[in-house]
Amino acid sequence: MNTPRYTPLITSLPATTPFVGPEVQERARGRAFAARLGANENVFGPSPKAIKAMQDAVPETWMYGDSASHDLREALAAHHGVTMDNIVIGAGIDGLLGSLVRMTVAQGDRVVTSAGAYPTFNYHVNGFGGELVQVPFRNDHEDPHALIAKATEVEAKLVYLANPDNPMGTWHSAEMVSDMIDRLPDGCLLVLDEAYVEFAPEGTAPPINGDDPRVIRMRTFSKAYGMAGARVGAAIGHKGLIDSFAKVRDHFGMSRISQAGALAALLDQDYLQQTLAKVATARDRISDIARTNGLMPLPSATNFVTIDCGRDGDFARAVVAEMIERDIFIRMPFTAPEDRCIRISAGTPADLDLLETTLPAALDAARNKSV
């Protein structure tokens, strides 16, 4: 039988994906979810101006998108106080991470991250043959000191930090992150994932310095701007590093529609502020619902709330299963001890009404099964 001749690396990798999407689960279940509270999507959606810009771009889809994403990069450069040469656009942060790892990690190179941190980064490192070295969270936060110590010890090429963090929703101050950058070992690049930074308190993100070759900043339109389905992300870094993306990136991977929508969304900062207020209100209500049910919500600087169920990972998994059985899609951290928690995304008032009525029954069922 004639079969593809896979590389030894691909043959060695497990047939897994970082996330099983809600649509996959809905097809397996044979019915839709009543509330979609597990993917950290922004249910409040994009700016109406972004929707109009995307609608206006539809007749132009016979053309490829601008391979340089010029207008969007120009606007982002002005927004962040850098030059266009400091910015590259890609298919969300996930796509940019894939290009970055391809550029920097050869088979056997060591890369440091936190055990239980964003799994798609690990997926890319494994896919290019890098060696993942992981350090534990500390008090439900990624541990900058341990990350730097381990990166120094193993001579890591990359060290990954999400600030604010997914899946815990916790965050570090700009001062802490700046200190981490200053303590990077020579030849090690900090991958600073700031997907949720718009939701975070003032003083979470250090000022962006486009001349600093030690760090690359990842930003997205998927979260606060409500455009997860459009797949638009930006990497901000030193010109030399950004130039290197041209060697490996998909130059026509960004559609005209997505570019138009992202540009209009960026220019509508009033709508962004309205969204941030709605998310803050939803976080407060999720936290209140958790406390009413005897659970402990963690402080969050994201568009989700991670909730300590007070037991172990098996109990939290049972709660997730019971919620899904009741048509409420939620997720949870994957790695102990953080897997004692469940994670619930900010939802509409109607979504959270369903959460409020469903969570007590799901908890009761999980408790009964654990007796």
The string of pLDDT tens digits covering residues 139-186 is 999 999 999 999 999 999 999 999 999 999 999 999 999 999 999 999
**Element holding 234 (H helix, E strand):** strand 233-236
Measured in whole angstroms, how far is the alpha carbon of residue 16 from the centre of its chain?
A: 19
The answer to whether residues 258 and 248 touch, using CB atoms and an 8 Å cutoff, is no
Is 103 exposed, middle or buried, given 0-12, 13-18 or 19+ CB atoms closer than 10 A? Answer: middle
Residue 1: pLDDT over 80: no
What is the pTM assigned to this prediction?
0.96
Per-residue pLDDT, 333: 97
Choosing from 267, 295, 327, the residue where a domain stops is: 267
pLDDT in tens, 318-337: 999 999 999 999 999 999 99
Maximum Cα interatomic distance, the chain, rounded to a whole number of Å: 61
Choosing from 232, 248, 267, the residue where a domain stops is: 267
Residue 371: pLDDT over 70: no
Strand partners, 135: 114
Per-residue pLDDT, 214: 98
* Rounded-to-integer distance, Cα 118 and Cα 116, Å: 7
In a domain, 67, yes or no: yes
Q: Report which of 220, 241, 272 is spatially closest to residue 47, judged by C-alpha positions.
A: 272
Per-residue pLDDT, 364: 97
Q: Report which of 295, 231, 298 is spatially closest to residue 258, judged by C-alpha positions.
A: 231
Number of domains in the chain: 2
Residue 339: pLDDT over 70: yes
Is there a single domain that holds both residue 284 and residue 236? no
Is there a single domain that holds both residue 245 and residue 277? no
Is there a single domain that holds both residue 141 and residue 68? yes
Q: Region 266-290: what's the mean pLDDT?
A: 98
Per-residue pLDDT, 107: 95
Q: The domain spanning residue 275 has which CATH number?
A: 3.90.1150.10
Q: Report which of 225, 180, 228, 170 is spatially closest to residue 200, judged by C-alpha positions.
A: 170
Residue 224: pLDDT over 70: yes
Residue 40: pLDDT over 70: yes
Residue 9: pLDDT over 70: yes
Per-residue HEC secondary structure of 243-258 comes to: HHHHHCCCCCCCCHHH
- Between CA 286 and CA 291, with CA 290 as vertex, the angle to 5 degrees is 120
Residue 283: pLDDT over 70: yes
In a domain, 124, yes or no: yes
Backbone angles phi, psi at 4, to 5 degrees: -60, 145
Strand partners, 314: none
Q: Name the E strands within 41-195.
A: 87-90, 110-114, 131-135, 158-162, 189-193
Q: Region 226-255: what's the mean pLDDT?
A: 96
Is there a single domain that holds both residue 213 and residue 312? no
- Between CA 242 and CA 246, with CA 244 as vertex, the angle to 5 degrees is 95
pLDDT in tens, 113-134: 999 999 999 999 999 999 999 9
Q: The domain spanning residue 98 has which CATH number?
A: 3.40.640.10
For 306, the domain range is: 20-45+270-365
* Rounded-to-integer distance, Cα 81 and Cα 328, Å: 41
* Rounded-to-integer distance, Cα 14 and Cα 328, Å: 29
**Element holding 273 (H helix, E strand):** helix 269-292
Strand order of the β-sheet with 341-345 is: 296-297, 304-308, 341-345
Q: How confident is the model at residue 370 (pLDDT cuts 50, 70, 90)?
A: confident
Question: DSSP code of 43?
Answer: T
Residue 190: pLDDT over 90: yes
Per-residue pLDDT, 183: 97
Measured in whole angstroms, how far is the alpha carbon of residue 311 from the centre of its chain?
A: 26
The answer to whether residues 225 and 42 touch, using CB atoms and an 8 Å cutoff, is yes
In a domain, 1, yes or no: no
Residue 71: pLDDT over 90: yes
pLDDT in tens, 79-110: 999 999 999 999 999 999 999 999 999 999 99
In a domain, 115, yes or no: yes
pLDDT in tens, 287-323: 999 999 999 999 999 999 999 999 999 999 999 999 9
In a domain, 13, yes or no: no
Residue 273: pLDDT over 90: yes
Whole-number average pLDDT of the chain: 96
